[in-house]
Amino acid sequence: MDAYDVLVIGGGPAGYVAAIRAAQLGFRVACVDAFERGGKPSLGGTCLNVGCIPSKALLDSSERFEMIRHDAAEHGIQVEGARLDLAKMLARKEGVVDKLTGGIAYLFKKNKVTSFHGVGRLVRQDEGGWVVDAAGTEVVARHVIVATGSSPRELPLAPFGGHVVENSGALAFEAVPGQLGIIGAGVIGVELGSVWRRLGAQVTILEALPGFLMAADEAVSKEALKQFQKQGLKFHFGVQITAVTPDESGVTVTYTEKEQEMTARFDKLIVSIGRVPNTAGLGAEAVGLELDERGFVKVDSHYRTNLPGVYAIGDVIGGAMLAHKAEEEGVALAETLAGQAGHVNYDVIPWVIYTSPEIAWAGLTEQQARDKGHTVKTGQFPFSANGRALGHGDPRGFVKVVADADTDRILGVHMVGPNVSELMGEVVAIMEFGGSAEDLARTVHAHPTLSEVVKEAALAVDKRALHL
């Protein structure tokens, strides 16, 4: 059998990054991954193939389409006859995915990572390490990293198929649905709803929770909901789905809202109610790999499972199901295996929703900070008072900084507005070093930039914003 120092099961953001970093550190590495797209092997997992990357490509294309149709005239640009070529838009999206997934294959070759295509299964432990069935070939590895990711959670009343789809199906509609229903008002629901609304669909989002984005800061979620409703997205909260009836032409959904039974008819229905860990075919039960009550692989703070030499990272261990969280775990684990001090600071992981306006946050909300016993002070500054935002024609939203009133340490930053996904980087860096609102406020920001809103929000923590 071929022998490796590290074998990674799964080629998504957690797995491929762990493999590359381990190879950089001098390990002999292999990765086994079963993902296919278009009938061909495709590294990158859900994120690159049917998640983060293709959805952002469509978000960008659809936003440009809407801008040309509705906002260009405000800039003195007259456009007549703009029309949608959906097939070409989808082909562009696939082209972006091809470049990035092909890039991972190139990086594997560059870093001498052996790649197996197929399912990876733990077989047994022997004196050389773990024997793993890598796509039908038995290999042995001293360290095995389980990074098998997650899959969309299926609603028992609405199994996937036909007009009922999950995220991958929602990225490949051959025509714009007239009436689009979405179950779940989370990140995937609002992003995909935004794409198809811009392209012409009437979008209705049904959410079981009583409010919108309840994990976000209340001020941000209220502002975002107002903007989305203004755009035409229809939301129903506190909904209980009682029946989903698909037929040849569409789907009928029956639900209760405020104790009243309601019925809605859709051409397509997207179900986006969370994700479940991928452990089928892993051989967990046969080798005694311990899973928790929800099916996630149980690990300690160093990503060690109950089996010596077997580790797990990414979506399959639960927590925030974010590609960048998974990547950082891959780096941390590879460095730990090399005797270094691998570490992930889960308190400052940024969250981003790539709608228009964008939503981003890191750290504690104001209410969470108070619940943890902090005496809190906050500062908020709107994009409507920012020259770059006004020049862009997009003054929606604001930045809010939450700081400890006693130490001035930044506890959280929350944003809704243009390009806030790109504004989070400096905030996370400041928070990573335990920085204060004063540190952020005293940092020179170029003028005119959107980032000045971050500076002004930090100034506002001590009631000394300059431009409001």
Task: Tell me phi and psi for residue 265, to 5 degrees.
Answer: -115, 130
Tokens 């290999």 belong to 139
Residues 47 and 321: their CA atoms lie apart, in Å, by: 10
Tokens at 94, concatenated: 């696939």
CB-count exposure of residue 452 (10 Å: 0-12, 13-18, 19+): buried
Query: Beta-carbon neighbour count of residue 247 at 10 Å?
Result: 9
Task: State the catalytic residue, choosing from 70, 343, 447, 467.
Answer: 447
Q: Are 359 and 220 in contact (CB under 8 A)?
A: yes
Residues 409 and 437: their CA atoms lie apart, in Å, by: 6
Q: Are 347 and 427 in contact (CB under 8 A)?
A: no
Catalytic, 445? Answer no
In 3D space, the residue among 451, 459, 450 whose CA is nearest the CA of residue 390 turns out to be 450
CA distance readout (Å), 370 to 106, 213, 324, 346, 409 = 48, 19, 28, 19, 14
As annotated, the active-site residues are: 447
